[in-house]
Amino acid sequence: MIGKALKTSSDFLSMVKFSHTIFAMPFALIGFFIAVAQEPGDFSWWLFLQVLLCMVFARNAAMAFNRYADRVIDGKNPRTAQREIPAGIIRPGTALVFVALNSILFIIDTYFINRLAFYLSPVALLVVLAYSYTKRFTALSHLVLGLGLSLAPIGAYIAVTGHFSLLPILYSFVVLFWVSGFDIIYALQDETFDKSQNLKSIPVLLGKKRALHFSMFLHLLTVIFVVLAGIEGGGNSWFWIGASVFTVLLIYQHILVKPDDLSRVNLAFFTTNGIAGVVFAAFVITGLFF
C-alpha cells in the first residue's frame, strides 16, 4: 500500500517536472525577502510556508494542465511519447482532477495571505493555464511561459506587503526575458516535429540560427533588467557578484548550443539555468541583509 502510494506520488512529481520549480522559486524568494527587508517586522515563517505552497500549487496546476492539453501531441512526438499521460501511466481525467485540486488549493492559500493576493489569484491561474494552448496559434508562446513564471517575484512581494512596488516588477521582467530566452533554446529540439503538426514557435518561425539570435536578444534584455533592478534596489557588492555570475551563465548556455549541434540543450536548459537562478537569488538575498 505504501509502495503504491509512493509510486503514484513519484508519477505525479514526474508529470509536473517538480525539479523544474528551481526556475521560478529563486525569484519568488527574492520578491519575498525584498519585502521583508523593506518591512522587517513582517517576517513570518507561516507566511513563508504559504508563499512556497502557492508556488507549488500554481506550478503543479500549470504543468499538469499542459500535459493534459498536449497529451495527443506528446504521443506523436518521439521525444515526449513516454510522458505519463500518453504512456498510460496517468489517465487524462486523473490529471484534470489534479489540476482542479491544485488550483483550488492555490486560491484557498491566497485567501489566507491577504486580500490583493486573493483577488489576483484567478488572473495568475488564467495566465499559467492559458499558456498550454498558445503554441497552437502564436510563435510568442515562449513569452507567455515567461510571463507566467514572472509572476513569482511580484506575487511573493504582494504576499508580504499587500501592494505593488517597482523593484519586484523589475525582477519580474528579468524572469520574463530569461525564461522566454531559454525556452526558445529548448524548443529547438522540436522544430521539425512542430512544423509537421502546424505548431508555432520561434524556431519554426525563424529557423534555428535566427531563433538562437532572438534568444540572445531576450537574454540581453534580461541582463539590462538585472542592472536596472540593482540600481533601483541599491545593490551592494553581493548583488553585483551574483549578477555577474548570472550573466556569465547566460552567455555560457549560448556557447553550449549551436544550430547544428543540439546535443547539449538539456545541459544549457536545466543545469546552467538552474544554477544561474539559485546562485543569483543566494547573492541577492544575502546582499539584502549584509
In a domain, residue 4? The reply is no
Task: Tell me how far apart the alpha carbons of residues 143 and 134 are, in angstroms, rounded to a whole number.
Answer: 10
**Closest of 16, 12, 15, 35 to residue 24, by C-alpha:** 16
The pLDDT, as a whole number, for residue 19 is: 64
pLDDT higher than threshold 90 for residue 15: no
Whether 13 is in a domain gets the answer: no
Residue 9 lies in a domain: no
pLDDT at 13 over 80: no
Q: 38 or 239, which is more confident?
A: 239
Answer whether residue 277 is part of any domain: yes
CB within 8 Å of 140: residues ≥ 6 apart: 134, 202
Assess whether pLDDT exceeds 70 at residue 72.
Answer: yes
Closest by CA position to 257, among listed 178, 189, 194: 189
Q: Per the domain annotation, does 270 fall within a domain?
A: yes
In tens, the pLDDT along 113-136 reads: 999 999 999 999 999 999 999 999
Q: Is residue 251 part of a domain?
A: yes
**Residue numbers of the domain that contains 182:** 20-289
Flag whether 35 is in a domain: yes
For the domain that residue 127 is a member of, what is the CATH number?
1.10.357.140
83 part of a folded domain: yes
Q: Give the sign of the dihedral formed by CA 275, CA 276, CA 282, CA 285.
A: negative
At 4, the pLDDT band (50, 70, 90 cuts) reads low
Q: Does the structure show a pLDDT above 90 at 143?
A: yes
CB atoms within 10 A of CB 220: 13
Overall number of domains in the chain: 1
Report the half-sphere exposure of 57 (CA within 13 A, side-chain side): 21
| pTM for the structure as a whole | 0.95
